[in-house]
Amino acid sequence: MKESELIESLIEGDEEFKKLYFEHRKLDNMVKDLEGKGALSFDEELEVKKLKKIKLSLKDEMERRIKRLKQSS
């Protein structure tokens, strides 16, 4: 099974994964919006860094769940 299929499967069958996935996408859009502004204030730069750290932790958890699903298949 391809990774995209695994993700689809998890989104449909794992409510927690679904939350992680959509929160990650939301944060990704927020980061893109902030970075698209051009020159950022100091506070905006801090916000971008904070959002990226949260995104990374969400991605790490999603990867763990994907890995578990691969191992159980």
Residue 65 near residue 9 (C-beta atoms within 8 A): no
Question: Which CB contacts under 8 angstroms, 24+ apart, belong to 7-15?
Answer: 7/62, 7/66, 9/69, 10/62, 10/65, 10/66, 10/69, 14/65
Number of Cβ within a 10 Å radius of residue 61: 14
Q: How confident is the model at residue 8 (pLDDT cuts 50, 70, 90)?
A: very high
CA 16, 12, 27: angle at the middle one, nearest 5? 50
Dmax (CA) for the chain in angstroms is 48
Question: Mind listing the pLDDT tens digit for each residue in 56-72?
Answer: 999 999 999 999 988 88
